Amino acid sequence: MPHDPNELYESTLASAALYLAAGIEPEKSKVFVQSHVSAHAELSWLLNCVTPMNWLERMIQFKDKAKKAGSGTVGAGLLTYPVLMAADILLYQADRVPVGEDQRQHLELARDIVRRFNDLYCKGNPFKKRCKKAGIPSRKSFVEPEAMIMKEGARIMSLSDGTSKMSKSDPNDNSRINVLDPPKVIRDKIKKCKTDAFEGIEWDNPDRPEAKNLLTIFAAVQPDRSRQEITDQVKDMSWGEFKPILADAICAHLEPIQTKYAAIRADEEYLNTVLRDGATAADAVASRTLDSARVAMGFTLRS
């Protein structure tokens, strides 16, 4: 999809700072910019060559976005984006991947690609001979990743429609809570968010998607509280009573993240150091996996 280069530059650094502010420790988990590790693009192309078109055309997110944008304006990158996502995962031999419910289909595609690639290229004596000559173990190139999805809060819905996913691409900013929204903005959005005319507040009534969504958000920002404890607190409340409590809980949860983000984003030298070190570490792992895939497919390695 078309993008603003200036916006991409800023959002790249902002996203990295947010990951760190949210609790990722670069000493334990590497943070890097995808485009700084060229193996992502190369493996994506190799996987594109073994991925049938009809696998990609059935992806729900592609169909939805293509419909909204119009077929004449959709680039090939949108169609093949799930293959790039697969490359992002497979380069690091990840066996479990934390994803939202809406990404389950893309992870299943990654598993399908793994099975197809391994079946096409990673068996038989010629494969073993190529691996031996290249000094690479003669095993399957990729691990099949499993989805790791939270039981609660894996799919947060729009504040303006409890049946649609909350999305940063929604043109209506009031439909979502942004991590960096100031408290006043958060309170305003919660005050205006869609509810219903039923009495009380409950989780599991299929006729009340907004109630379920707002309770899910309330629980997600208070991970130490049980579902039953939350239910007992709010079940007899009106929306007028519940909304300020929900807004307070969201603000309290985001405040330390926002404070830490401001400090990290202000120190661009530190941020760039983290990203550079992360890319160096990631490149070492990704290069080994890419070499394995190259050899499996019959490419010669550069001496």
Supply the residues annotated as catalytic: 65, 165, 168
Q: How far is CA 242 from CA 194, 237, 239, in A?
A: 13, 6, 5
Q: What is the DSSP string of 168-224?
A: TT-S-GGGS--TT--HHHHHHHHHHS---S-SS--S--TT-HHHHHHHHHHHHT-TT
Residue appearing with tokens 């890419």:
290
Beta-bridge mates of residue 31: none
**In this structure, what token pair is assigned to residue 171?**
């043109």
- Asked if 215 contacts 206 with a C-beta cutoff of 8 angstroms, the reply is no
Q: Show the tokens assigned to 236.
A: 């007899």
